[in-house]
């Protein structure tokens, strides 16, 4: 996979992309991440990237020319998605991350200031993504969030393939509780069933805990999950407080 990131603040990406899962995926050649400074695509002496809005008002607007030049210079031929990070975009979630993880190449454009010239939206970008209903100072952190969620889904990016499937949201539910050694910590015990060695019982317990946790914390997610007969039985046990 190839990810091109266009930003006015390229230095922001060095740290977050150097370590952990993204750093390893880059080292393994699973993904190439290239960062470009939009300012390098200006043609005027002062490298101006923004200007005041037509019609007046506060703040500055990113000019279209450097954005178009940058995107056209970095993306290959063909259907490469050009994604603007903006609070006006469609909400990012695990489904969108999985969709992007299936792409071979994408361009992420980080907006800044009051916004970008509308012609960038209309004629350059193919998609707009928001990472949540709040306003960040720019699209950089949002791009990092998107890259992290996408790259960890690439085959081989995680130590074991199973880990992605177990993630919260990967099956539409929140993840079940996890425990590790010691078995007893300050008097708090690991649930007995996890020590039983009965794989089927452990799986059932985990599914029940996932359902319970999701119903309690994110009832909105429950509406979209297709419950099996066994799930319904588990939910009934949750309601009877047996789980």
By annotation, the residues acting in catalysis are 87, 114, 152, 167
CB 23 within 8 A of CB 17: yes
Which of these segments, 18-26, 79-87, 183-191, 224-232, binds ligand ADE (CB under 6 A)? Answer: 79-87
Which of these segments, 84-92, 93-101, 176-184, 197-205, binds ligand ADE (CB under 6 A)? Answer: 84-92
134, 160, 184, 229: residue in contact with ligand ADE (rule CB under 6 A)? 134
Alpha-carbon distance of 84 to 80, in angstroms, equals 13
- Give the closest residue to 1 by CA, choosing from 164, 157, 166, 158: 157
What mask, x for binding ligand ADE by CB under 6 A, covers residues 141 to 160? -x------------------
Q: Is position 132 an interface residue for ligand ADE (rule: CB under 6 A)? A: yes
Tell me whether residue 135 or residue 226 sits nearer to ligand ADE (CB atom). 135
CA distances from 66 to 7, 72, 170 (A): 11, 10, 38
Alpha-carbon distance of 207 to 210, in angstroms, equals 5
Q: Which residues pair with 90 in a beta bridge?
A: 129
Interface ranges with ligand ADE (CB under 6 A): 85-87, 111, 130-132, 134-136, 138-139, 142
């Amino acid at each position: 996979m190839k990810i091109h990131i266009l930003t006015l603040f390229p230095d922001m990406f060095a740290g977050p992309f150097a370590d952990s899962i993204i750093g390893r995926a880059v080292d393994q050649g699973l993904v190439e991440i290239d960062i470009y400074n939009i300012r390098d695509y200006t043609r005027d002496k002062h490298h101006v990237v923004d200007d005041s809005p037509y019609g007046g008002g506060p703040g500055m607007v990113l000019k279209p020319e450097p954005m178009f030049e940058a995107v056209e210079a970095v993306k290959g031929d063909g259907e490469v998605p050009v994604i603007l990070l903006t609070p006006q975009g469609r909400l990012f979630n695990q489904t969108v991350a999985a969709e992007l993880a299936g792409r071979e190449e994408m361009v992420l454009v980080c907006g800044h200031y009051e916004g970008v010239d509308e012609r960038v939206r209309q004629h350059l970008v193919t998609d707009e993504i928001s990472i949540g209903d709040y306003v960040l100072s720019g699209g950089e952190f949002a791009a990092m969030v998107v890259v992290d969620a996408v790259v960890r889904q690439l085959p081989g990016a995680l130590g074991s393939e199973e880990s992605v499937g177990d993630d919260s949201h990967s099956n539409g539910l929140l993840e079940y509780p996890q425990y590790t050694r010691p078995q007893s910590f300050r008097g708090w015990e690991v649930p007995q069933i996890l020590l039983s060695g009965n794989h089927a019982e452990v799986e059932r317990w985990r599914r029940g805990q996932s359902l319970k946790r999701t119903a309690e914390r994110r009832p909105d997610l429950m509406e979209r999950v297709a419950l099996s007969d066994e799930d319904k039985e588990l939910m009934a046990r949750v309601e009877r407080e047996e789980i």
